[in-house]
Structure 1
Amino acid sequence: MPLSPYLLLPRASYGQGLSAVTPARADAEPASPDRAGATAAPATQDAQLLAVPFGADLAPEIDLPLPAAGLLAHYAATGAAGEVVEVPVANGDTVGRVLLYGVGDGSATDLRKAGAAVARRGKDKDAIRVVLPEGPVAAFVEGALLATYTFRVGVAKSTPTVIEFVGDGAETEAEVARGDVVARAVALARDLANMPSSVKTPAWLAERAAEQGVTAKVWDEEQLRSGKFGGILAVGQGSVSPPRLIQLSYEPEGATRHVVLVGKGITYDTGGLSLKRGDSMKFMKTDMAGGAVVIAVLGALASLGVRVRVTGLIAAAENSFSGMAQRPSDVITQYGGRTVEVLNTDAEGRLVMADALAYADAELDPDVMVDIATLTGAISIALGKDLGAVFASDDDLAAELAEAAESTGERIWRMPLIDDYTPALDSTVADLANIEAGSTYGAGSITAALFLREFTGKRPWAHLDIAGVGRSSADEGIFSKGATGYGVRLLLEWLSSR
């Protein structure tokens, strides 16, 4: 994973060996996974930076030029989350540096922000030693690790910074391990979404999904045809890379509840014959971000001890254009027999997901279904780039997801399912149209959600539209330019709490 490796050190020794000299690591062995799936790192000779939360007692070896309180007052430091005051300290004949960092109100949101700020200050260093704050340590670890995320095809630019977390006790150890599992699941989702589509075909995505340590089943194009998955086939027929339906199954002993997660897996989206503009097409390698989230979530459930049975469905296809591509005005038959008039081939995500939802309803008998997709540009206009959307047929489910979103900082806003808008999807030649047919409503994200609802069999269901939050344009906080992995932390928290 492209995150910094880390160690957990005892608190008693955190001030020892602080140095401004780059440690010699020529003999260090590469990081390797341990039994829990965390990444262990070779011990560094010295940490180049030491980070300590505001108000913490400093180790006696650390001799600040002024008392900590005086330094903070000098810099007008308030202790806000993400605030960092850098102080030089003497260390023999060298000069080391201490980072005093703010933790805000100590909430998970503020500690996640603090962890990211501290890790970013150490990004160009060989190692940084971080005294853990009090409170929800897992969130701090998530923030620190996610802030170090990089994606690069080929050789990495440099050796990643080793983060040496300092803390004591079994509870702290468990919190650090949880933060690590969650951060690496998010990194996996980012990796999958950031991978160029010249590599990332539906078959490639299915191979990566099968590596997650859960039971995998994959339908190839012939099996999709015999199974009558008309939506996935129609979207994928214009590409030289055939579509796939991927099923991942996590079945812990004693589970009594069954959740199905459905992810949009469009590995590249040209818009098909309803061709996108060039500027809009540049980012379409991440149009399978929802599918990436489902894969990453399924891979992390065992490490977190989730006791719910979870089935993940990823409907994967490349939406391309050719002489074989579907045309506007084509009528397709979705899984289960509903017919759909395709008025816009760039509204393809709902076609592949409709097959997966209908299959889940007919064959898997879930207690609840949640889908996640970069589905509509309209949601970005409605909510911007910082809020995901949730549409839900069940108030309790919507409330549970909102609570998980608040806890993880992956904020959502509930959007309405307005039944009066359903006639916008009427077709004169099929059961449904895939977009508003000559409608005056102009509510593209709502009608897209209403389209998906038609295939859920009236089961409790929620739809997460992450088109606005699935990509970041800046390296800031826990995010790096590119895919964000939005939804992994939210869904893991929701499933862990059920």
Structure 2
Amino acid sequence: MLAIRLVSGPERPDTLVLPLRSAGPAEEPDAPAALVPTAPALPDDLLAEAAALVPAARLTGRAGEVREHLRPGGSPLRLLLLSVGEGDERAWRTAGAALARAAKDETCVTVALPADAVDALRGLVEGLLLGSYRFRLTEAGTAPALAEVDLVVGDPDGLTATLDAARTTAEMTRLARDLTNTPSSVKNPQWFAEQVRAAVADQPDLHLRVREPEELEAEGFGGILAVGRGSASGPRLVELDWRPGDARTHVVLVGKGITFDTGGISIKPVPAMKLMRKDMAGAAAVVAATLGAAALRLPVRITTLAPLAENMVSGSAFRPGDIVRHYGGVTSETTNSDAEGRLVLADAMAYAVQELGPDLLVDLATLTGANAVALGKRHGALYSENDQLAADLLTSIEAAGEHAWRMPLPADYVEYLGSELADLHSSPDRGAGSVVAALFLREFTGDLRDRWVHVDMSAPSWSENDEAELTRGATGWGVRGLLRWLATL
């Protein structure tokens, strides 16, 4: 991963990066660009040379444009002109990712930042680290040479905390990407639990409990056991606790952790099954966010629950029409074994409400294909009955560079959950798939019904292409938004 440091002046100026902003308003995207005043000021002759290059290079200032200018015998030897759009954090994040790709053959680059560098620094660092991400097991080809980035700022000491926050956020997002990208030939419930155990091994303030299948059976986690029953790799429940002494709020995060989803007896068609190693992206996000909160010493207690199972086809797999008894005794009828995520989430949520007594409950899950049908590939579907809680989380998600849209929980659809055989029907085939799944989960929130948020993030958990700070494959969606929100509590 890139080494990034704050400096007060260009110490190794072989390649100097100068930012440009659009000189026109947002409604004029093709307006000419102008150099951003930097701190400290750079030599006048260098700035004049760079300014003369802008119109010749046909730069508009739209975030992510990069142009190279060689200066044989000069210092610096190369100028990179980097467009940062309107100069907000999101634009700097896009620019950072573009720089990571454009400068991949360099060893070290120096970037001059503006005097008011907080948003620029955070966005640029996250963009650099996320745009340069490469999956550690399967990425082919020559690794990028770029290893070091110097950021020239007016007050390095005053920006250290901002750099640390950006670096931690990006590192945890990269961890979630690694966990999600790992093939299911390697990744099963036990493997995931071992990755978490390794991550907390040297951190005494983090407490971990992993429930094995026998413990799940003894304590009545019937949903997790039902989904995991068809696999030779038994299910697990990871419980990770960050408990700082100054915490005033207790948040429980729950993440769906299906390490591979065949659909079970209701088997998926091959095209829908190919990427089902990503069906634990919710668990990856909440675990990574908790590790990030601990690294940043956020003053909020966080208990993260990751119910882990592999949904396979075998003689022992649960069947369509089976009745599942969840933690606490509620029963559900499932006529589609491919609606398995809500079964493991229901167990974890019921346990959280009945045993942990949190102030807030948030779950993230790659739950339904209906998420993508409704909102496309970049937005998660957010559900909550609490207007303020929903607004706060949406604000944090957007500020972090992710996207979500609030969806309704209509009372008219509750009747869909009726069952003649059980307390609830978990998979009624009556349309509104993402909404009905959310309504089912709401039945397990108990007294926390008005302090609960569900995010269906199946679509934005994966990217088919490199785009801004996203790279092809797992996106780590949710880590950045959760960390930004947790920092406000």
Specify which of 253, 268, 276 is matched with residue 284 of structure 1. 276
Would the alpha carbon gap of residues 490 and 155 (structure 1) be closer, same or farther in structure 2, given more than 3 Å must change? closer
Specify which of 371, 396, 400 is matched with residue 404 of structure 1. 396
Q: Which moved more, 1:483-492 or 1:104-113?
A: 104-113
Specify which of 251, 262, 266 is matched with residue 259 of structure 1. 251
Following superposition of structure 1 onto structure 2, how do residues 49-68 of structure 1 map, counting pairs within 5 Å?
49-54=15-20, 55=35, 56=37, 59-60=42-43, 63=46, 67-68=49-50
TM-superposed deviation, 1:256:
1.6
Q: Which moved more, 1:232-241 or 1:477-486?
A: 477-486
1:497 is matched with which residue? 488
Q: Which deviations, in whole Å up to 9, do the C-alpha atoms of 1:122-145 show, x marking residues without a partner? A: 123333322234341112100111
Correspondence 1:365 to 2:349: no
TM-superposed deviation, 1:216:
0.3
One-letter code aligned to 1:399 = A
Following superposition of structure 1 onto structure 2, how do residues 93-492 of structure 1 map, counting pairs within 5 Å?
96-133=77-114, 134-136=117-119, 137-153=121-137, 157-158=142-143, 160-167=145-152, 168-210=155-197, 211-212=199-200, 213=203, 214-437=206-429, 439=430, 442-459=431-448, 460-492=451-483
8 Å CA contact 2:19, 2:113 repeated in 1: yes
CA distance in 2, matches of 1:266, 1:69: 53
One-letter code aligned to 2:171 = R
2:71 is matched with which residue? 89
8 Å CA contact 2:327, 2:351 repeated in 1: yes
1:78 is matched with which residue? 60
Q: Which deviations, in whole Å up to 9, do the C-alpha atoms of 1:347-373 show, x marking residues without a partner? A: 000000000000000000000100000
Q: TM-score, normalised by structure 1?
A: 0.89
CA distance in 2, matches of 1:340, 1:328: 12
TM-superposed deviation, 1:427:
1.0
TM-superposed deviation, 1:218:
0.7
* Secondary structure in 2 matching 1:90: coil
One-letter code aligned to 1:335 = Y
CA distance in 2, matches of 1:405, 1:184: 17
* Secondary structure in 2 matching 1:268: strand
Would the alpha carbon gap of residues 419 and 255 (structure 1) be closer, same or farther in structure 2, given more than 3 Å must change? same
CA distance in 1, matches of 2:76, 2:251: 55
Q: 5+ unaligned residues in a row in structure 1: which ranges?
A: 19-48
* Secondary structure in 2 matching 1:12: coil
* Secondary structure in 2 matching 1:262: strand
* Secondary structure in 2 matching 1:67: helix
TM-superposed deviation, 1:483:
0.6
> What is the aligned-residue identity percentage?
46
Q: Which moved more, 1:54-63 or 1:288-297?
A: 54-63
CA distance in 1, matches of 2:137, 2:375: 32
8 Å CA contact 2:64, 2:99 repeated in 1: yes
Of Structure 1 and Structure 2, the greater helix share is in 2
Q: TM-score, normalised by structure 2?
A: 0.90
Would the alpha carbon gap of residues 331 and 9 (structure 1) be closer, same or farther in structure 2, given more than 3 Å must change? closer
CA distance in 1, matches of 2:196, 2:287: 6
* Secondary structure in 2 matching 1:301: helix
CA distance in 1, matches of 2:50, 2:139: 42
One-letter code aligned to 1:80 = R
TM-superposed deviation, 1:176:
1.6
CA distance in 1, matches of 2:326, 2:73: 69
Q: Which deviations, in whole Å up to 9, do the C-alpha atoms of 1:207-252 show, x marking residues without a partner? A: 1112233210011000000000000000000000000000000001
Q: Which deviations, in whole Å up to 9, do the C-alpha atoms of 1:442-486 show, x marking residues without a partner? A: 100000000000001141100011011000000221111111000
2:51 is matched with which residue? 69
CA distance in 1, matches of 2:251, 2:340: 24
CA distance in 1, matches of 2:294, 2:128: 23
Would the alpha carbon gap of residues 233 and 82 (structure 1) be closer, same or farther in structure 2, given more than 3 Å must change? same
Would the alpha carbon gap of residues 310 and 347 (structure 1) be closer, same or farther in structure 2, given more than 3 Å must change? same
TM-superposed deviation, 1:76:
3.1
Q: 5+ unaligned residues in a row in structure 2: which ranges?
A: 21-34
Q: Which deviations, in whole Å up to 9, do the C-alpha atoms of 1:182-222 show, x marking residues without a partner? A: 00000000000001111111011111112233210011000
CA distance in 2, matches of 1:62, 1:458: 67
Q: Which deviations, in whole Å up to 9, do the C-alpha atoms of 1:389-435 show, x marking residues without a partner? A: 10012111101111101211111100001111011111111111111
CA distance in 1, matches of 2:113, 2:97: 13
Q: Which deviations, in whole Å up to 9, do the C-alpha atoms of 1:326-362 show, x marking residues without a partner? A: 0001111011101111110000000000000000000
8 Å CA contact 2:362, 2:454 repeated in 1: yes
8 Å CA contact 1:304, 1:496 repeated in 2: no
Q: Which moved more, 1:256-265 or 1:151-160?
A: 151-160
8 Å CA contact 1:11, 1:131 repeated in 2: no
CA distance in 1, matches of 2:87, 2:76: 31
CA distance in 1, matches of 2:221, 2:247: 29
CA distance in 2, matches of 1:259, 1:63: 52
Count of residues in correspondence between the two structures? 459
CA distance in 2, matches of 1:450, 1:108: 35
CA distance in 2, matches of 1:11, 1:91: 24
